[in-house]
Amino acid sequence: MAKSNDGEIALPFPILIGDIGGTNARFALLIDAFAAPREFPTIQTAQFDTIDDALQRCILDTTSIQPRSAILALAGPIQGDEVPLTNCDWVVRPREMIANLGFEDVLLVNDFEAQALAVASLSESDREQIGGGAETYAASRAVLGPGTGLGVAGLVHAQRTWIPVPGEGGHIDIGPRTERDYQIWPFLEPIEGRMSAEQLLCGRGILNIYHAVSAADGRETPLETPAAVTSAALAASDDAAVETVSLFSTYLGRVAGDMAMIFMARGGVYLAGGIPQKILPALRRPEFRAAFEDKAPHNELLRSIPTYVVTHPLAALAGLAAFARMPDRFGVATEGRRWQK
């Protein structure tokens, strides 16, 4: 077992890092702490029955380098020796990966934890700032990622260490606030009696808002996918779509502001996930930031906190790479989710 200088346990190189989502899995190989990551083509999870099969055929069979360890970021909670993925049929079985694929050491982390690791050190070219002041470098941050669901994580800065805090923040309650919200809310469908942020702030959420806005006004709903709604909104070709994306930005701003207050995120709130990059022009409009700052009695605090859209195409992998190279910089809990030969 490799040990780093101050006694923290580091995984041995070469390290395979992977970000495994419901639809896509992305991998890169880190030969040592200094070399640039060697990226592999994105794998469509539906094309392989098992993750082991995908790893064997798309990674191990295509390189002469045998990774000694793997750090994999997964969508969903990590518990036990068999971890099923949300939104796809793969089950990650680290013991079998060690027995069959030649790994000595496997660490599983949550996908938003990987996003949180990334925002500790994103360069200016990998993020776009939307409002607020300068970041306070050594201060906590928060990440929200509307995609298939709504991922949320904090990145607490304490004792010169970045500590990712994965949780289920996407499932917090959200309620109506403006007169228009009260008109729309009756047409949103609660799950077991409540509306959670995720029912509005993800791909499905865009459609939920679109249907509710249209129902409140007695309009038809010709647009069928989240991308169709946001495209029509950005092109200003459909009134309900325009309002949907405006409301989506407002609700995202409200929840982002809540997270900023919870984590006292003077280091900034980062919007990751697939959707913010695709609706950047809408997020640059006033609604997102106005809702973020509208937190009396703390408007002044919120005005000072920067918000960013993550534009790095592989941010989670960048986060895993940063951790793999300098584990001592990060307080990543490994109990119950690390397997060794």
Ligand X SMILES: Nc1ncnc2c1ncn2[C@@H]1O[C@H](COP(=O)(O)OP(=O)(O)OP(=O)(O)O)[C@@H](O)[C@H]1O
Pick between residue 44 and residue 79 the one whose CB is nearest to ligand X: 44
Q: How far is the CB of 316 from ligand X (least distance, A)?
A: 8
Q: Is residue 149 marked as binding?
A: no
| 330 neighbors 161 (Cβ within 8 angstroms) | yes
| 232 neighbors 241 (Cβ within 8 angstroms) | yes
Q: Is residue 86 marked as binding?
A: no
| 208 neighbors 229 (Cβ within 8 angstroms) | no
CA 338 to chain centroid: 21
With b for 16 or more beta-carbon neighbours within 10 A and e for fewer, the 94-132 pattern comes to: bebbbeebebbbbbbbbbbbbbbbbbbebeeebbbebbb
Q: Given CA atoms 266, 195, 276, 119 in this order, what sign does their dihedral have?
A: positive
Pick between residue 24 and residue 56 the one whose CB is nearest to ligand X: 24
Please choose, out of 58-66, 125-133, 267-275, 303-311, the segment that lies near ligand X by the rule CB under 6 A. Answer: 267-275
Residue 208 binds ligand X (CB under 6 A): no
Q: Is residue 20 marked as binding?
A: yes
Determine which residue in the list 21, 94, 164, 257 makes contact with ligand X, applying CB under 6 A.
21
Please choose, out of 56-64, 226-234, 301-309, 321-329, the segment that lies near ligand X by the rule CB under 6 A. Answer: 226-234
Residue 226 binds ligand X (CB under 6 A): yes
Q: How far is the CB of 206 from ligand X (least distance, A)?
A: 6
Site string for ligand X, 268-287 (x = CB under 6 A): -----xxx--x---------
Q: Comparing C-alpha atoms, which of 167, 155, 70 is closest to residue 330?
A: 155
- The residues in 146-165 that bind ligand X, with binding defined as CB under 6 A, are 147-148
- The residues pairing with 15 across neighbouring beta strands, listed in sequence order, are 30, 69
Residue 142 sits at the vertex; the CA angle it makes with 204 and 301, to the nearest 5 degrees, is 115
Q: Is residue 18 marked as binding?
A: yes
Pick between residue 48 and residue 339 the one whose CB is nearest to ligand X: 48
Q: Is residue 53 marked as binding?
A: no
Pick between residue 23 and residue 334 the one whose CB is nearest to ligand X: 23
| 12 neighbors 31 (Cβ within 8 angstroms) | no
Residue 23 binds ligand X (CB under 6 A): yes
Distance CA 21, CA 135 (A): 30
| CA atoms within 13 A of residue 279's CA, in its CB half-sphere | 37
Determine which residue in the list 110, 115, 140, 230 makes contact with ligand X, applying CB under 6 A.
230
Q: Is residue 311 marked as binding?
A: no
Residue 178 binds ligand X (CB under 6 A): no
Residue 199 binds ligand X (CB under 6 A): no
Amino acid 322 reads A
- The residues pairing with 107 across neighbouring beta strands, listed in sequence order, are 71, 338
Count of residues near ligand X by CB under 6 A = 15
Annotated binding site for ATP: 18-23
Applying CB under 6 A, the residues found at the interface with ligand X are: 21-24, 147-148, 203, 206, 226-227, 230, 273-275, 278
